[in-house]
Amino acid sequence: MIAQPKTARHPESGASSPLSVRDLTVVYREKPALWDVDLEVPAGQLCAIVGPNGAGKSTLIKAVLGLVPVASGQVRFFGQSLEQARKRIGYVPQRGSVDWDFPTSVLDVVMMGLYGRLGWFRRPGRLEREAALRCLEQVSMSEFAERQISQLSGGQQQRVFLARALAQNADLYFMDEPFAGVDAVTEEAILHVLHQLKGQGKTVVVVHHDLQTVRDYFDHLTLLNVQVIASGPMDETFTPENLKRTYGERMRWEA
């Protein structure tokens, strides 16, 4: 049943939002990386987090997932704690965060998405292989299943990470710069998956760096620069005024 299209999970009446962040502050050494962040992510939408370099975009994702220590604040997923909601959360880290010369195959990496579900001491078997293959199909990487991962291009690596997260069959996805430095085919594949996920009623939070495309790709926008500058529906939030406040007088535009 993993990663197969299913009918949208209807938000129960009065259900809490997929991600609700309150007063989140993260401090590296002395300098705050995130300051008093409040964020409500609406269900079933594609949400972008945008901001200049060093604005804390990746840190925000890592902090809500418990990957970096949090100085203060509260994070709830579907009204639950991280531990309770863990199985409903999928994560696509930056592809540069791992060593792609690791001795393993594409299919093996995708199956890692099932490890949380498998539980202790159980090895992935035939069912897991099939589920992983279906996820590879969704990102058009089926023919690479047995490849050693060092033979992949950057875009292919990104699609493998995406497939691994799909295998988790989560309701809320966090993706850290999935569009960074990928080829056109991969960009198409990622967009296709994003829309598929949305069609299944899932929520996706994406750290994005490209102001040119953000309006076309996403429904909801959060502008971040250590603090949340603005957050809301794309049309209301993507304004010159807000962008200027986010990127500031320093005008340190991203490449």
Residues contributing to the site for another protein (CB under 8 A): 62, 65-67, 83, 86-87, 89, 91, 93, 97-99, 102-105, 108-109, 112, 115-116, 118, 120-121, 123-124, 148, 150, 164, 168
Residue 99, classed as helix, strand or coil, is: coil
Nearer to another protein, 143 or 235 (CB): 143
Question: Could you tell me which of 210, 233, 208, 229 has the C-alpha nearest to residue 221?
Answer: 233
In angstroms, what is the minimal distance from the CB of 165 to another protein?
9
CB contact set of 144 (below 8 Å; sequence gap of 6+): 106, 136, 152, 156, 160
In angstroms, what is the minimal distance from the CB of 99 to another protein?
8
Q: Contact at 8 Å (CB) between 25 and 32?
A: yes
The Cα–Cα gap between 106 and 131 comes to 13
13-42 as b/e, with b when 16 or more CB fall inside 10 Å?
Answer: eeeebbbbbeebbbeeeeeebbbebebebe
| Encoded amino acid at 85, one letter | A
The Cα–Cα gap between 126 and 165 comes to 19
In angstroms, what is the minimal distance from the CB of 108 to another protein?
8
Nearer to another protein, 105 or 140 (CB): 105
Nearer to another protein, 120 or 253 (CB): 120
The Cα–Cα gap between 173 and 179 comes to 15
In angstroms, what is the minimal distance from the CB of 197 to another protein?
17
The Cα–Cα gap between 47 and 207 comes to 9
In angstroms, what is the minimal distance from the CB of 180 to another protein?
17
Nearer to another protein, 35 or 115 (CB): 115
The Cα–Cα gap between 130 and 126 comes to 6
Nearer to another protein, 103 or 240 (CB): 103
Residue with tokens 């999928």: 90
In angstroms, what is the minimal distance from the CB of 136 to another protein?
17
In angstroms, what is the minimal distance from the CB of 247 to another protein?
28
Nearer to another protein, 108 or 171 (CB): 108
Helices 184-199, 154-167: axis angle to 10 degrees equals 20
Nearer to another protein, 190 or 214 (CB): 190
